[in-house]
Amino acid sequence: MSDDNVGSVNPEEGPPAEGGTAPSPQGGAVAPDAADAAEGATGAADESGEGAGSEPDAGAEPAAEPDPEADELAVTKMALEERTLDLQRLQAEFLNYKRRVERDRELIRENATYAALAPIVEVLDTIDRAREHEPLEGGFKAVAEQLEHTVAGLGLVKFGTPGDAFDPTVHEALSHVGTDPDVEVTTCKVVAKAGYKIGERVVRAAQVLVVDPADG
């Protein structure tokens, strides 16, 4: 090899780059500065892709969106339940009011009947005394029977017969007339005046003479 070839430079390769070896047209080594710049651009692109184009975590559930129709249905159901309770309460109040009115109406009717029939028991006593003397005849008999039938239809019931067990709630003992071996409890021996009642309400207690058992 001659000295002329040692120091010569190939004009096609050009001068060497600063700080490194210049690439040759045939695919030689890349300069260090160019490699660092390319690596930095690739890293920036990767970081940008992770921030902007990354997919959400597959395990996370998406937030449930409110359903206006479901909310409206729930509100409607609550309103319906409230109106149903109000209706049931009103129905119960109406039934109680109806019972109270019917009870008061029946009580008013009984009081009116009692007030109208109480004085008539004296007329019925007169008819009973007339029968004790002699049988009723003619027009007096027809009037007496019609009166008795009318007051019975209004609910006035006659009670009290000899032999009934004495009951202080419906009998008024005028006196005791001794003992009787044939009775086991205090018994009505004589009925001076019959008793009358309307339903369970006593208009007048039967006035009686009573006897006691012999062993009493």
Beta strand 187-193 pairing with 206-213: antiparallel
pLDDT tens for each residue of 34-56: 445 455 545 544 444 444 444 55
Query: Between 11 and 40, whose confidence is greater?
Result: 40
Confidence category of residue 59, pLDDT binned at 50, 70, 90: low
For tokens 């890293």, the residue is 43
Q: Which long-range contacts (CB under 8 A, 24 or more apart) does 58-64 make?
A: none
Q: Which residues lie below 8 Å from residue 124, measured CB to CB, with a gap of 6+?
A: 147, 148, 151, 158, 194, 196
Res 182: pLDDT: 87
pLDDT tens for each residue of 124-138: 999 999 998 888 888
What would the 3-class secondary structure string for 128-187 be?
HHHHHHCCCCHHHHHHHHHHHHHHHHCCEEEECCCCCECCCCCEEEEEEEEEECCCCCCE
Res 58: pLDDT: 53
Q: Poorest-confidence range of 13-17, 70-74, 101-105, 151-155?
A: 13-17
Residues 196 and 167: their CA atoms lie apart, in Å, by 14
Asked if residue 62 has pLDDT above 70, the reply is no
CA distances from 153 to 37, 146, 198 (A): 125, 11, 11
Q: Quick one: tokens of 76?
A: 């409607």
Q: Quick one: tokens of 22?
A: 């210049």
Asked if residue 197 has pLDDT above 90, the reply is yes
**Considering the chain, what is the average pLDDT of its residues?**
77
Give the mean model confidence (pLDDT) for residues 96-107: 90
Q: Are the C-beta atoms of 159 and 206 separated by less than 8 Å? A: yes
Phi then psi for residue 135, to 5 deg, are -65, 145
Closest CA to 120 of 155, 71, 89: 155
Q: Is the pTM above the cut of 0.85? A: no
Give the mean model confidence (pLDDT) for residues 156-185: 91
